[in-house]
Amino acid sequence: MDNTWSLLSGAMRAPDVPKKGLRRGTVRRVARFARPHWRRLGIFLALTVLAAVLAVSTPLLAGRVVDTIVGGGAVSVLVWLAVAIAGLAIADAGLGLAERWQSARIGEGLIFDLRRAVYEHIQRMPVAFFTRTRTGALVSRLNNDVIGAQRTFTATLSGLVTNVIQLVLSLAVMMTLSWQVTLLALVLLPVFVLPARRIGRRMAALQRESAELNASMTTQMTERFSAPGATLVKLFGRPDAENSAFGLRAGRVRDIGVRTAMLTRWFMTSLTLVSALAQALVYGLGGWMALRGDLAPGTVVALALLLTRLYTPLTALANVRVDVMTALVSFERVFEVLDLDPMIKERPDPKPLPAGGVSVEFEDVRFSYPSADRYSLASLEEVSILDNRGGEEVLHGVGFRAEPGQMVALVGSSGAGKSTIAALVPRLYDVDSGAVRLSGVDVRDLGFDTLRHTVGVVTQDGHLFHDTIRANLSYVRPEVTEPEIWHALERARLASLVRSLPDGLDTLVGERGYRLSGGERQRLTIARLLLAQPRVVVLDEATAHLDSESEVAVGEALTDALDGRTALVIAHRLSTVRAADLILVIEAGTVVERGTHEELLAAGGRYAELHRTQFSEGEREHAAA
């Protein structure tokens, strides 16, 4: 039965897999991943060979039993034959367990190696990679493709070896016993193989459609069941339309399940029927030859039993190319991710950063966002062709310097390049020309650990993991003590709230922190920043979406957080940067004005225009209120 299901799974695989071109070197890379498991793989193949030999030996012993009975042989011979058959059965069971143990160790080892390699590589990818990639498609590479590669690798390899050995041994023994009966038995093979492949193509088409529908349902559920998605559906959604769209897909999956079940039953029935017909031919012709004295009765029985060891391997080997190509395609989809260039790379000999306060310097920085083909895959974005727009310069000779402990504010129109400038400090991207320096050291010459410990960033969305407050805070410093956590919460003006919660620090914040208000979530990220103790702080619109009361609380927390640190602050509300040591007005990727708040107002330029516009808007809002 297991062989039958293996055959069925092989027939169900997509028939277009062999037509896909594989990259050169894929087999060599698969071998490199399997190299640490060669010893277990050798034992596994040896056990598989022994199991195939035992499978052929049992029918021969059964034939000897029949001949002994018909020929009136000694009882002791029958007893020893029965003991031998029982011994083979026990040995086969033991071999099966040992084979499964080795197969599991190899398979799980491959999963472990592949997952670690992919996960480690993905963590080194630039932020641009994650802004384009669909998370579900990326997770699928870590789960479905990795598991598919492992399963097909072990199953295909063992199946190929087992079927080849069993086929050769069975055919050789059958030809030795009676070549006439063997040839007659093979006549019916095309009657089974050809319909089986046709059923396999239909099954593959149904499986592909079912997989696409399930992926669509998963996407719909993931988007609608997340906190922001559920809120959007509640506010603007159409429940009936949502249910109808989901129901159509679910109904189609149900119908495909019924058809798949019936095709599977047809496959099993045809296999049973053809095997029975072939056995009938063997018994008919073999029995006639036995009556004529050309064959022994036991030989007829042995031929009939060996026939079952012949049909399944022959049919399975007809699909072996599909199986092998399916395995290689699964591996190649994993290798596609591993082959993506991380772009942002650490020097093998990074430089240290001087102790004390840190200055931030931009020297004639020019930058353009890279095109998607440098860091993304169409299959991960779920598009047919990558959008390769890019390469247009967005920063044009930006230069400024923030001395240790100073606050430099970036203001300007939306899309002027402020966030791009901020992203270059922690080296989320690399400049095309010029340099970004911390205390005179180019950020490209610093180690990643040094950058992470030196530069802290607070963004406007204040992302949190679906975990406890304690876990979110200690993420930046796993060794942090509880008194240090409470001290950071006090400075972030959040300690009283956390103490009022039933579970305190062990309170779950929910997906992306949605169990907290916007101001609370932002103050929690500030507490996390305080625990990280960076020497440079980048604030990217940290108070952009907060109400007035929350903005005041977050502002107080930020004042404490910035004390004694070099700060680069992006702000939409000019009132929050009046005290900055230097204000840079960014427009179209260039610094058009620089100075203090008073100096820029007195100049009457773009900053004064922005200030006048915001002041007028504030007056209108006040009058309307």
pLDDT at 619 over 60: no
Same domain? For 284 and 412 the reply is no
Q: Is the pLDDT of residue 424 over 90?
A: yes
CATH code where residue 386 lies = 3.40.50.300
pLDDT of residue 536: 93
Domain check: are 558 and 417 in the same one? Answer: yes
Helix/strand/coil percent split, the chain, to 5: 65, 10, 25
In DSSP terms, 587 is beta-bridged to 590
179 within some domain: yes
370 and 325 assigned to the same domain: no
pLDDT (0 to 100) of residue 402: 92
Range from 100-104, 393-397, 514-518 that averages highest in pLDDT:
393-397
Q: Does pLDDT of 15 surpass 50?
A: no
pLDDT tens-digit readout, 349-370: 999 998 888 999 999 999 988 8
Beta strands across the sheet bearing 536-540: 455-458, 536-540, 566-570, 407-412, 582-587, 590-595
Last residue of a domain, one of 308, 338, 368: 338
Confidence at residue 478, expressed as pLDDT on a 0 to 100 scale = 87
Least confident among 228-242, 388-402, 573-587: 228-242
Q: 3-state SS string over 523-560?
A: HHHHHHHHHHCCCEEEEECCCCCCCHHHHHHHHHHHHH
Q: How crowded is residue 258: how many other Cβ atoms within 10 Å of its Cβ?
A: 9
Place of tokens 């459609």: 209
The rounded percent of the chain whose pLDDT value lies above 90 is 15
**Is residue 86 scored above 80 in pLDDT?**
yes
> Taking the CB of residue 502, how many other CB atoms lie within 10 A of it?
6
- Phi-psi map region of 606: left, alpha, beta (phi>0 left; psi -120 to 50 alpha): alpha
- Averaged pLDDT, 538-542: 80
In-domain check, residue 83: yes
Residue 61 lies in a domain: yes
Given a cut of 70, is residue 235 above it in pLDDT? no
Q: Are 595 and 563 in contact (CB under 8 A)?
A: no
Higher pLDDT residue, 283 or 618?
A: 283
Instruction: Tell me the C-alpha to C-alpha distance, in Å, between residue 559 and each of 422, 456, 552, 563.
Output: 19, 15, 10, 6
Tell me whether residue 353 is in a domain. Answer: no
Geometric angle at alpha carbon 161, from 155 and 167, rounded to 5°: 120
Both 164 and 273 in a single domain?
A: yes
∠ CA 505-508-514, nearest 5°, is 120
What does the pLDDT average to over 419-447?
92
Residues 535, 565: contact at Cβ < 8 Å?
Answer: yes
Q: 618 and 489 in one domain?
A: yes
For residues 337 and 432, the model is more confident at: 432
In a domain, 436, yes or no: yes
CB 352 within 8 A of CB 450: yes
In a domain, 344, yes or no: no
Same domain for 84 and 199?
yes
Residue 268 falls within a domain, yes or no? yes
CATH of the domain at 225: 1.20.1560.10
Question: Is residue 17 predicted with pLDDT exceeding 50?
Answer: no
Instruction: Check whether residue 334 and residue 214 sit in a common domain.
Output: yes
What distance in Å separates the CA atoms of residue 558 and residue 571, rounded to the nearest whole number? 13
3-state SS, residue 394: strand
Residues 182 and 313 grouped into a single domain: yes
329 plus 426 within the same structural domain: no
Lowest mean pLDDT among 233-247, 251-265, 441-455, 593-607: 233-247
Q: Classify 502 as helix, strand or coil.
A: coil
Quick one: which of 299, 68, 88, 82 has its CA closest to 182? 299
Calculate mean pLDDT across residues 247-265.
83
More confident residue, 438 or 42: 438
Q: How confident is the model at residue 10 (pLDDT cuts 50, 70, 90)?
A: very low
Q: How far apart are CA 456 and CA 537, in angstroms?
A: 5
Listed residues 273, 307, 338: the one ending a domain? 338
* Among the listed residues 73, 89, 87, the one whose alpha carbon sits nearest the alpha carbon of residue 296: 73
Number of domains in the chain: 2
Neighbours of 234 (CB within 10 A): 9
Residues 413 and 506 in one domain: yes
Q: Are 408 and 580 in contact (CB under 8 A)?
A: yes
Reported as a single tens digit per residue, the pLDDT across 181-228 is 878 777 766 666 666 666 666 766 676 677 667 766 776 776 777 666
**Adjacent-strand bridge partners of 569:** 409, 539
Do both 334 and 396 map to the same domain? Answer: no
For the chain, the farthest-separated pair of C-alpha atoms sits apart, in whole angstroms, at 122
321, two tokens: 């190319």
Q: Phi, psi at residue 476, to the nearest 5°?
A: -80, -25
In a domain, 343, yes or no: no
Looking at 338, 373, 395, the residue that finishes a domain is 338
Range of weakest confidence among 70-74, 386-390, 612-616: 386-390
Same domain, residue pair 333 and 364: no
| 570: pLDDT strictly greater than 80 | yes
231, pLDDT greater than 70: no
Range of the domain at 379: 360-624
